[in-house]
Structure 1
């Protein structure tokens, strides 16, 4: 046990070291990520701070260059307005003067590098221009709508910026009125082309923008940013810009700024979505350092957008180098730790191998199962004490003997498997070479012991060997014998019990048939009881026709004696009709009285009601009960005509009895028909005293009756309930609010195949 404790302690220590290294690795990884991130951020902030200082100087230089370059053109309209040739051309309008003026304007533009110079009359019409040779010359164009013309006509120095409607070039306009004897006779205009500055600053490390007072990009070194607005413009502002024709139909869109980070000096880090449309809002992102300052002369703002791509690439490179250095250091440290671990595990494995060998020997010697090792030829090499305990004597003489000298399979056909060739054949199609058989251990004169043998192959480093395991099955065999005997006994008891159940089932079927016969007899008895109650009315119905027949027959004899054959023939016709009427009455009672089972089929509800009325009509006439029947609704139900008539006759008879028990009530019975999609309901309500609470509780129980003694068997409603349920319906009863009782029979509506 001391060896086990030693190795368990080593395992615990090893697990603790593993956990320590895991946690150490996590801490180092976290610290490395934080160092890379924080260091990169610090370096980025430092680079941006330096870039802000440099960009501020560049912005000042750019603003000065732009302002000085444009300022030299602001006095040119004043000089042109004081030129005598200009005044002469405006005053006289001679062709020679205008042609000479065109040449002078062209020369002035060539010297001053201005874009265009031109002279407008008081109507805004261009009479002379420096571009008179061009196809798109301003001569003949009317610019009275431009604000610089209106300002000059009012005697002021005009300034304006716009996209030229004729040249389609962006420019800044300076204008001045031309005076003659104190009156304004025209306007001198000089246009400065701003694209020259875009070309001049196109290859700088930054992008420059000229922003008008509405923050619209009027000029830029990046063509895709032209006519983009920084910020938001209201609908009124957009309409005002469109009405001024400043941008001559150009679409004003918003420059898509994804993110802004302001600084204290007014500069910003902005992330712009390059080439992103206003609708999609998608495109590559580019970060810039944005700085701007106003140009007082033009009422513009100049802005620089310095890309941060170089700084970001520098930071990414620094982070990569730093992370790579840390990674290499960690890998070297890990290799050292891994080598040390491999040496330690190799020593541990050698020690564990020695421990396992000792442990296996101890397990083999102390295991309860019998173990035997065989050589490659299936001959006994060694065994443990458990095998000797199973067989009850020493087995040393069996060493070197084949396994068949110790074990005999239960199935003699499998004895061939005890050889090496038989073992290989038996385990050829199995995933592992393991063979299990039941048999007996035997040696000498000792009785054999039932065992389960497991033979498996062991691939040792230097040779092939086999391990055989024997498990004692003495108790298991005993239990199997007991289970077999119990199973045979149980099968015998099951056969006996099955014979008894079959006899009981036969008797039960006989009782069911007897019960059905009894039920049919009860139904027939109820029919006959109703017929007995109706016998007086039946006699009355038959006596009247019989009396008339006798009278007609006597008269007929007299008419025949007298030779009055026509009167005799008429009397015989009356006798025939009365006989047919009596036959119909007797036929209804015969059909009502016949025996039989419920035969399902389509029946007309109105026909069943009229059949019941033919039977009960004489009694209702005898006692003077008014019978009200709703008109035929054409309802058809699924049931048996005779049994439905029996139910209706029973309900009509009960209604008559209830009315006769209340002589002071009105004598009236009403039959109504209603229907839903699936059922038809027939209701019979009387004008009697209604049902008592006790009668409602026990109304459909056999032999229960609320009639006086001797006037009923108490079977009518019980039998009626069984008949209705046999036809798939139900019967119910309740008291009406207006007085009297109401019995309702609900039957399934007949559904034809067509529907």
Structure 2
């Protein structure tokens, strides 16, 4: 039987094998180039989009805060206008004299509030008085019964509405409040605000606001105003026409199409049609009340350019690496040929060099080990120096942050008292009550001196200086702390008790003299601790139906224990271990720095005492333990110290600011 012979394959030919390997290598390099370019494009695109979203979030937060601040500033103005006697009288009897007085009043209010227009509407929908009564476009006599802000206010609610004026043809935001007289709604007070200033700062990147129907009524691109982000149902269009919200504007959809939906409230949209239509990263956020939405539009073109450039640079880098590898391979082949030729020459001298090589091997090995050790030691020393520099820098930054935050935390209460005293002094001077004004000015001077002491004490806290020989009456410190927190203590039941050893508790009179209750601590630092503890207790009982704080002073033979107990929810178990750590706080952002308990604990330690905390049956308890100072020969020193510090404590012991 004859076996047929197979034809040889080109891959089996010895001369074709290197060519095939080169083709396979080139194909693999091309695939690698495509993968690297795709990866570079993806990373650059994602990085650019993330940066756009971050910038859009910052712009959105800034613009939202500005817009909401403007709206909230005027939220109560219609209510105040409606409560004025002139408005009440003109709604009860709209005779010409009262109408003229109301017009002048509204004109003055509108000028000082910097609003667009302020006007009063009767219960039947007719405007009877307005701040623009002098102009040709006066609202007086116009019927507004069809406007939603009038309908909402007539029902007893706050009316909020954005629309184009039927008389002035100017867009504005309307805020309305019902006007009540003897419990009955007799009219509506309205304030119109001009929001056309929005958003004039970021014209390069579109920014717009839509109402609850999706109609764009504020935009940095004028051509997009009074367009819709989506088609409107027929009933919504009819409602807009009925209320004349946008007057005679042609409400048409914005020519936008979503190309890609991203995570969160963000999309890639194209505005217009065609390949050259611009694309934007659209992010949305709700403003709350009113039901508006802020939309930021960030151009995607810079991200595309950056991704394209990154891909091109990556491709060039990849090709350069491939060429470098090819050059290295060719050079290596040449080196192998040179080495091979040298080996043939060296073989003749091998016998002669063996003895020399044997003697030099040990020396070479020792030299290599020494070089490695020197290099390792040099690298270790460099890392040690770098680590020391970083630790020194971190220590400087931490100290600077603690000092700045501590000063801010401790000066809040005296600054608030300074504001109250200064306001009351102005009122006293206007009334001619110069004695009361003089007392307040003395209190302001005392508070200023007290703030200087606080700064000096914070320096002691940072430097860990140990105060020596300081003594403070506990009753006076409690009285000063309660006086400084007087406004916050309104509506809170405060119980002051005194326990002497194992005896029964008695009531503690903060205005009484207790020469036996003297603690070895500076009086200002003791007041700092009590203010922090009582302030935390007030935060814990905030919102409770029957808030209560108990301050108990327990006199032991060698120590004084001052406990502050509240009937709040207590301290969670996971918070207890970190309670006295600096910058640790459970409060919301902007309500606390997390330094109060850390500073208080540090003060207690510096005075030779301690500050502890635990949960009771109905709340949290903070116990401040200080060494007790016996009154014998030192009694004169205590009395002298009390007299010397009386000027610095006047701010704390003064009554609540007079109205």
TM-score interval (norm. to shorter): 0.3 to 0.5
Q: When the two structures are superposed, what TM-score results if normalisation uses the length of structure 1?
A: 0.38
* TM-score, with structure 2 as normaliser: 0.43
* Structure with larger Rg: 1
